[in-house]
A and B are shown apart, each in its own frame.
Chain A
Amino acid sequence: MKRMQSALWTALFTVLSALYLWPLGVVALNSFKKKAFISRAPFALPTARTWAGFVNYTTGLELTNFAQSAAYSLIITVLSVGLILLCTSMCAWYISRVQTRATHGVYLLCVFSMVVPFQMVMFTLSKVANLLQLNTPFTLPVIYLGFGAGLAVFMFTGYMRSVPVAIEESAMIDGCGPLRIFFGVVAPILQPVMVSTGILETMWIWNDYLLPYLILDLKRYRTIPIAVQYLRGGYGSVDMGAMMAMLVLAIVPIVVLYLFCQKYIVSGIVAGAVKG
């Protein structure tokens, strides 16, 4: 009876999972069809007549300069996440160990910034960033640190509460200065929350569209989401073949990465949620 039930659950969820993945399959198949047949019959399997081979991929790569966009996306994400983890973990340690009115104010500011929608600062932020010449992939991380610090500080301070001060105090008695205490003692303890925070920030920054779109110098730098959106020309004319191919190229690396780091991603989500 029990085994029977278990088999039924498995069968049910196999069907549901297949349905869930079906849209991805449709896009993948369409990326190999001639573009005229994509909008006309998106759910038809490719036939000899509609098969386009890799034409969509080559046009897409050319139209979007995809390889370059991927490189910029990678640079921006890696630098931003690195900078956020370093700076906010230091900040969070300080504000949870030195409790004054000022540090409490910093904490409240961070919590507040988590809720504020981007549209509130969109216009002025892009002007300020231009004024300060922060419009390249190498300087954009400063903006991400500024706008995205909230969540990271919040997660780190939440975790710091469960870390006993005694270890740090004994390190101090042994003659360590604050910097050595942080990098030698605290940072290793923070490792699990570093991973969680890093994953949450990576998911956000890698997929972010509007912030880089408004701030980057678009003639020279585009990220993957910007490149995909640029396939839509003036009023609705879209090369659907190239679009399908680029969607596949945008999705595949994430899925592969996910399958490898699934454990960390899932525990990162859970940790992020508990801290809320």
Chain B
Amino acid sequence: MERAVKKYWPVFVLPTMLACLIGFVIPFAMGFSLSFCSFTTLSDAVFTGIDNYIRAFSDTSDSFVHALWYTALFAFLSTALINVLAILVALALVRPFRGVNAFRTVFFMPNLIGGIVLGWLWQVILNGILARWGLTLVSSEWYGFWGLIVVTLWQQMGYMMIIYISGLQSIPHEQLEAAAIDGATALQTFWHVKLPMLMPSVTICLFLTLTNGFKLFDQNLALTAGMPSNRSQLLALNIYSTFYGRTGWAGAGQAKAVVFCAIVVVIAMLQLKWTRNREVQQ
């Protein structure tokens, strides 16, 4: 059969590959090579070596280095909080009690709302709360930081909860019964039976939340737009405003994007490898 199908590649594979070429491969390759050039449009690029990278890291008026650790802090903290809360809620909502399904529905719902809408929604709420102390979200970079944590927590907790619930439901009943017969406490059962069996779900959830954290853009734009003076910019927004907010900085913007991309790819790979090792074979 393989031979008969093989010659049909123009029908089956070509459309996707052409689109991939336009939408991903060419822009990626061009973006990578442009990061070593000085340019304003695609046609006037001049090779300048690693000049752009030096500019990206050394210019102090530009907050790239700040954005780097600010984003890393945000990504790791939001990942931890989202997953701990999601597991706790999932543990509660796998129990049979009246209204469980309705509660799951409620917690999942914010996921369907887009980042821009979410950002504006929370801007009103958080500014309303902070106003009691005469503050706003842009009073300092840390109000924006915690604001973003609240927004992503509210948005993504339910998504991860759904994944954890399905993970918990797939744990064989005999194992939980065996643990109960051996007299394990609820906490022991969780640490030594449920959590190890849940590791595949943990892998994927950590992967999703961590990469989401690093890539976050829309919520950042709508909530604080980087204010005060670019101090609450996450990496994605920092790169965006370098490209479109500063003339003559497109090259540095592209260099930043390459650094950003490398960081995300490396983290994704490390993280998948690390958690895969801890999974229990089923």
Query: Does B179 belong to the interface (CB within 8 Å)?
Result: no
Q: Is the beta-carbon distance between A178 and B113 smaller than 8 angstroms?
A: no
Q: Is the beta-carbon distance between A203 and B112 smaller than 8 angstroms?
A: yes
Find chain B residues with CB under 8 A from A38 CB.
Answer: 124
A171 to chain B: closest CB distance in Å? 9
Q: Is the beta-carbon distance between B8 and A20 smaller than 8 angstroms?
A: no
A26 and B124 contact, Cβ closer than 8 Å, known pairs A120-B257, A149-B19:
yes
Q: Is the beta-carbon distance between B117 and A247 smaller than 8 angstroms?
A: yes
Query: Does B201 belong to the interface (CB within 8 Å)?
Result: yes
Q: Is the beta-carbon distance between A117 and B261 smaller than 8 angstroms?
A: yes
Q: Is the beta-carbon distance between B114 and A119 smaller than 8 angstroms?
A: no
Query: Does A193 belong to the interface (CB within 8 Å)?
Result: no
B206 to chain A: closest CB distance in Å? 11
A10 and B125 contact, Cβ closer than 8 Å, known pairs A209-B218, A273-B204, A276-B207:
no
Q: Is the beta-carbon distance between B17 and A115 smaller than 8 angstroms?
A: no
A35 to chain B: closest CB distance in Å? 12
Scoring A23, A179, A257 by chain B CB atoms within 10 A of each residue's CB, the highest score goes to A23
Find chain B residues with CB under 8 A from A119 CB.
Answer: 217, 235-236, 239-240, 257, 260-261
Q: Is the beta-carbon distance between A149 and B2 smaller than 8 angstroms?
A: no
Stretch at the interface among A54-62, A64-72, A137-145: A137-145
Query: Does B186 belong to the interface (CB within 8 Å)?
Result: no
Give the total of B residues in contact with A, Cβ under 8 Å.
95
A10 to chain B: closest CB distance in Å? 5
Q: Mark B1-44, 1 if CB is under 8 A from A, else 0.
A: 11011101101110111011111111110110010000001100
Stretch at the interface among B54-62, B158-166, B188-196: B158-166
Q: Is the beta-carbon distance between A228 and B117 smaller than 8 angstroms?
A: yes
The CA-CA distance from A178 to B6 in the complex, in Å, is: 9
Q: Is the beta-carbon distance between A146 and B19 smaller than 8 angstroms?
A: yes
Q: Is the beta-carbon distance between B22 and A229 smaller than 8 angstroms?
A: no
Q: Is the beta-carbon distance between B99 and A94 smaller than 8 angstroms?
A: no
Q: Is the beta-carbon distance between A172 and B163 smaller than 8 angstroms?
A: no
A-B contact count (CB 8 A): 278
The CA-CA distance from A44 to B92 in the complex, in Å, is: 33
Find chain A residues with CB under 8 A from B110 CB.
Answer: 20
Q: Is the beta-carbon distance between A146 and B21 smaller than 8 angstroms?
A: yes
Q: Is the beta-carbon distance between B15 and A87 smaller than 8 angstroms?
A: yes
Q: Give the contacting residue for B6; candidates A98, A113, A129, A265; CB below 8 A.
A: A98
Task: Tell me the A230-258 residues at the B interface (CB within 8 Å).
Answer: 232, 240, 243-244, 247, 250-251, 254-255, 257-258
Q: Is the beta-carbon distance between B166 and A270 smaller than 8 angstroms?
A: yes
The CA-CA distance from A169 to B5 in the complex, in Å, is: 11
The CA-CA distance from A7 to B148 in the complex, in Å, is: 34
Query: Does B222 belong to the interface (CB within 8 Å)?
Result: yes
Find chain A residues with CB under 8 A from B21 CB.
Answer: 146
Query: Does B133 belong to the interface (CB within 8 Å)?
Result: no
Q: Give the contacting residue for A121; candidates B28, B111, B117; CB below 8 A.
A: B28
B: which residues have CB within 8 A of A? 1-2, 4-6, 8-9, 11-13, 15-17, 19-28, 30-31, 34, 41-42, 92-93, 95-100, 102-117, 120-122, 124-125, 127-128, 131, 154, 159, 162-163, 166, 200-201, 203-205, 207-208, 211, 214-215, 217-218, 221-222, 225, 235-236, 239-240, 243, 250, 253-254, 257-258, 260-261, 264-265, 268
Q: What are 6 A-B pairs at a CB distance below 8 A? A: A10-B97, A109-B20, A127-B41, A132-B22, A247-B117, A247-B121
Known: A39-B128, A115-B265, A206-B114. 9 other contacts (CB 8 A): A10-B97, A10-B98, A20-B154, A121-B24, A122-B257, A147-B23, A165-B1, A229-B222, A254-B112
